[in-house]
Amino acid sequence: MMLSVIRLLSIDELLLQMVDAQAALIEEIENLLDVAVTLVVEELRVTRSLLELPV
């Protein structure tokens, strides 16, 4: 019985660690998406500026 309780606690702790790791991964993905959007917006600004140059 005691071994089962220890196993359940271990599984519970592992699940909590997995959730924490997934939350950290999601946060990193959000940061990368923010950077990607910023780069795309900047590229669009540069492209628009180049298109507005007189030929």
Per-residue pLDDT of the chain (55 residues; tens, 9 = 90+): 566 766 777 888 899 999 999 999 999 999 999 999 999 999 999 999 999 988 7
Please tell me the pTM assigned to this model.
0.68
Buried-exposed string 3-40: b where 16+ CB fall within 10 A, e elsewhere: eeeeeeeeeeeeeeeeeeeeeeeeeeeeeeeeeeeeee
